[in-house]
Amino acid sequence: MTAPPASPPSPPSPPSPPSAPPVKRHHWIVRLTHWLTFVVLVGMILSGLQIYGAYARFGERDGPYYAPNPFQDHGFPTWSRLGGWLAGGLNWHFTLMWPLTLGGLLYLSYLAASGEWRSLLFRPRDIRGAIEMQKYYLRLRKDHPPQGKHNPLQKAAYTFIILLGVLSVLSGFAIYKPTQLSWLTALFGGFQAARYWHFWAVWIFTGFLVVHVLLVFIVDPASLRAMITGWYRGRFPSHD
Amino acid sequence: MIDRRALLRLAAGAGTASLVAACGWDGGNAVRPLLLDVSRFNDWVGEKIFFSKNRLAPEYPVAERTARLPSYFISPSLPMLENPSAWRLQVAGLVREPQALSLEQLHAMPRTSYTVKHHCVEGWSAIATWHGVPVSAVAERCGMLPQARYVRFDSFDSGYSNGWDLASAMHPQTILAYGMNDNPLPPTHGAPLRLYSPTKLGYKMTKYLVSLTFTAERPGGYWEDQGYPWFGGV
């Protein structure tokens, strides 16, 4: 998941020569849940778009309908849907929800048990570092600020995406069982509002996915291999 | 430098995903049965973990009723009785005393009324008031036998039917509704009698009822047999 900054002019620890020994970066649980989540999330989104087409708006039957929704009254094209029809989409969605939530719980348990959450969780004290990092990216600062495994902006991104995952699962429960879990549905502002939250999470996930993959290939392609084998052999070994 | 092997693996994964999507794939003969098995497991989770026989659905003020509740039936035209006065609800199956109940007899039984939110599997929701007799009162009247595990509801809407688990059917808010929004149930919503419960999705609530049968075997249903979740609880 690490995507360090682009070509720092003078990083505190100089880029390792190609002969540098590989660094163990990702535990197998992290690699397993990373790829599991990727495949399953794609399936959840595609089947979700199938389900959306059955009632392509948000709001009680008589309206008003929630805005903004650029997709109001428009289903998604066939290539972007999984399931073929509503029941097929539901069955995919309600099957993939298991590996999605179980994988998510496994990952969070690993973070908690290993202590790795410390290098990932964005905390108030990271705000200052995040500003420095932003300055560096904007060329307002010459030297790369010192960092641990992830820089404060990465911490912010990864913390945010984990929270988005939690929000998606919780809003999913609120839509799945609005009567049995009526308290949860009420927390989201009601059944239709929960659908709206769930829907917007899709676009934030999609945006994250695009930026995440772009950064990997543009900035540090070796991090892709690290997420597969666990070993990092690139230009930016961890600073800690 | 891009790691070629890693890139290939990523491409293989993405390729599979887009191929799956391109076909509007319902799983095919290989995966569809697996998805349906998980759906059966989800039925169990829905009944045993999420559902509570004592938890009541939230009620809403009458002022929040939806002006127009959509009407659904599977017949080519609105299902209507030729002779409404001859209509009877047949109560049969695993019971001590099978019944043929007229609307007047149902009116004379305990009455439940509530204003609740209706959840359709498509994703829409609407609020309406319903009144009728709890299914549990009918079960008591006919002397339901302990072997009964399910209830089958049949209609005169081109054979539309539903199968229910007994726990959901005996829920205090599960009623045989003969009234909607303080008026007699209109033909567009299942007159003379329909099943209603705020703990189920709309397609589980059989309209145009003709019979109610207590069974030991799990009954199918019109949409359920085509792949929709059998439990359909919300």
Residue B60: inside a domain, yes or no?
yes
The answer to whether B193 and B71 have CB atoms below 8 angstroms apart is: no
**Nearest CA of chain A to the CA of B90: how many Å?**
30
Looking at residue A92, which CATH number applies to its domain? 1.20.950.20
Closest-CA distance of chain A to residue B97, Å: 34
Name the domain count of chain B.
1
Q: Does B212 fall in a domain?
A: yes
Report the pLDDT averaged over residues B153-174. 98
Q: Residues 6 or more apart from B206 whose CB is under 8 A from it?
A: B153, B154, B155, B160, B161, B162, B190, B194, B195
User: β-strand B89-93 against B209-215: which pairing, if any?
Assistant: parallel
Task: Using a CB–CB cutoff of 8 Å, tell me whether A228 touches chain B.
Answer: yes
Mean pLDDT of chain B: 93
Annotate chain B with three-state secondary structure: CCCHHHHHHHHHHHHHHHHHHHCCCCCHHHHHHHHHHHHHHHHHHHHHHHCCCCCCCCCCCHHHCCCCCCCCCCCCCCCCCCCHHHCCEEEEECECCCEEECHHHHHCCCCEEEEEEEECCCCCEEEEEEEEEEHHHHHHHHCECCCCCEEEEEECCCCCEEEEEHHHHCCCCCEEEEEECCEECCHHHCCCCEEECCCECHHHCCCCEEEEEEECCCCCCCCHHHCCCCCCEC
Would the pLDDT of A224 be above 70? Answer: yes
pLDDT of residue A19: 58
For the stretch A6-32, pLDDT in tens is 444 444 555 545 556 888 999 999 999
Query: B78 in a domain, yes or no?
Result: yes
Q: Establish if B23 belongs to a structural domain.
A: no
How far is Cα A52 from Cα A48, in angstroms, rounded to an integer? 6
Query: Using one digit for the tens of pLDDT, what is the confidence trace for A56-104?
Result: 999 999 889 999 999 999 999 999 999 999 999 999 999 999 999 999 9
Q: Assess if residue B26 is contained within a domain.
A: no
Q: What percent of chain B has pLDDT over 90?
A: 87
pLDDT tens-digit readout, B72-123: 999 999 999 999 999 999 999 999 999 999 999 999 999 999 999 999 999 9
- Which CATH number does the domain housing residue B126 bear? 3.90.420.10
- Provide the domain count of chain A: 1
A176 interaction partners in chain B (CB closer than 8 Å): 234
Residue A15 within a domain: no
pTM equals 0.90
In angstroms, how far is CA A234 from the centroid of its own chain?
23
- A-chain CB neighbours of B21 within 8 Å are 46, 79-82
Q: Is residue B68 part of a domain?
A: yes
Query: Residue B179 is encoded by which pair of tokens?
Result: 């009234």
Domain range holding B98?
Answer: 34-226
Q: Could you tell me if residue A209 is inside a domain?
A: yes
Tell me, yes or no, whether B22 lies in a domain.
Answer: no
In contact, B58 and A182? CB cutoff 8 Å: yes
> What pLDDT is recorded for position B126?
97
Q: Chain B within 8 Å of A55 (Cβ-Cβ)?
A: yes
pLDDT in tens, B174-211: 999 999 999 999 999 999 999 999 999 999 999 999 99
Whether A12 is in a domain gets the answer: no
Q: What is the ipTM of this complex?
A: 0.90
Exposure on the CB side of residue B92, measured as CA atoms within 13 A = 8
* B228–A82 C-beta distance less than 8 A: no
Structural domain span for residue A112: 23-55+72-232
